[in-house]
Structure 1
Amino acid sequence: MDGYEVAIRIHERFASLHERPLVVALTVSADKVTRENCLRVGVDGVLLKPFSLDKMKSVLSELLEKRLSRVVKP
């Protein structure tokens, strides 16, 4: 099972929830096809390996802020 299949299965598994888990792909490839495939299967963010803890925090913070802005509307 590759990462694309994992993302698909996560979405299937949690389909009944109001908000599905965020999915972040870890990859060594930054090419356009990889990013498009990640988006196609519902990956929310991509971290390029090797990555720093600061980069991981940045990606996760951005994704959580986007999600919270959809949930908490004034």
Structure 2
Amino acid sequence: MTALEASTTGRRYGGPDALAAGIVQDLAEPGELRERSCARLRPLATKDASTLGAIKEAIHGDLLALVPTTAGTRP
């Protein structure tokens, strides 16, 4: 319902509202953004990139198929 509301009304969500609506998973102050982001990503650094790509493709493949490509590759 959140995506429908945002897309049909143009509603913008600030941090707390986005967290409450489930659009984001966490909030961070500007000064702690880099460290908090790195902490969330650090566990993924040891994962096999092709496995992560396959997971993303399985989850979002139908949407990615709609994205225009450049030089025959998707972003």
- TM superposition score normalised by structure 1: 0.31
Higher RCO (CA 8 Å, separation ≥ 6 residues): 1
Higher strand share goes to which structure? Answer: 1
- TM superposition score normalised by structure 2: 0.30
Higher helix share goes to which structure? Answer: 2
